[in-house]
Structure 1
């Protein structure tokens, strides 16, 4: 099983400051359509809205199809539970810290089918997944920042 957790600052010096609400809305946007945020994802379709806070989506990631159940735990956490596909487990995006020191944590606990636990192949998968998520977090924050900048410019 692969366990990874990283925390990244939301508000870096010289960039438009984002509020907790703005970051939350960005995470919800990514949960509904991750294509603009995850370069290694080529398809993302919501297939079943179970409630306002739980829905399923089919994705193609690195050429492999998966089904994920998304749970929105407003205003702090989005949980992606892989329920079908070659990689099963849970991915979480969490907003942490105070308004003056917001951070975004992404964590995942995944099992890659047909891969020996602790093997070099599993390590390579974990490294690729971590790199993909670092890029996805950066692109999510950048998209939220663009929206915030556009709002400021329009005011």
Structure 2
């Protein structure tokens, strides 16, 4: 399954939305890499296994389930997660890209490519829509948390 969507971070037409800087969004994405328990429900522990430049290998513990991934950073631009498939966990990639079409607007693009098979029937399509909705809600929550950490002053020059 491939799926992507865009979340608008800064909207000059919406005065209720406090703008974030590109650096704040980047620091928020780095916080999600370093301390994913703050962002991912059900994640008990994250162990950094190896760092090599802009690549980080991690082990994520969800109760008894363990998932390994490799995170590749493109500084101030993109975070790419490559998740290894297991018997109990779908593998694939998640790429989060900061996009700024002009100096007033800022977006975060989420791109998923999973090992889930393409839907064959209406039940499969309904399941796929539920998965997409869960991804979208998790991503909206990621942006909400980045905003929260930024407004509390917890992101400035913090990581990497």
The TM tier, using the shorter chain, reads 0.7 to 0.9
Which protein is richer in helix relative to its size?
Answer: 1
Match among 107, 110, 113 for residue 109 of structure 1: 113
Which protein is richer in strand relative to its size?
Answer: 1
Matches within 5 A, 1:1-155: 2-12=1-11, 13=14, 14-39=16-41, 41-60=42-61, 64-85=65-86, 86-97=89-100, 98-112=102-116, 117-119=118-120, 123=125, 126-151=128-153
Provide the C-alpha distance between the structure 1 equivalents of 2:120 and 2:62, rounded to a whole number of angstroms: 21
Structure 1 contact 46–55 (Cα < 8 Å) conserved? no
Q: TM-score, normalised by structure 1?
A: 0.78
**1:141 Cα shift?**
2.2
5+ residue gaps, structure 1, are none
Provide the C-alpha distance between the structure 2 equivalents of 1:134 and 1:117, rounded to a whole number of angstroms: 18
**1:61 Cα shift?**
6.0
Q: What RMSD, in angstroms, separates the aligned Cα atoms of the two structures? A: 2.6
Q: Deviations for 1:5-33, whole angstroms, at most 9, x for unmatched residues?
A: 00110124212210111001111111122
Q: Higher mean Cα deviation, 69-78 or 46-55?
A: 46-55
5+ residue gaps, structure 2, are 154-160
Structure 2 contact 49–59 (Cα < 8 Å) conserved? no
Q: Number of residues paired by the alignment? A: 146
**1:127 Cα shift?**
3.1
Cα distance change, pair 62–48 in 1 and its aligned pair in 2 (3 A)? closer
Q: TM-score, normalised by structure 2?
A: 0.76
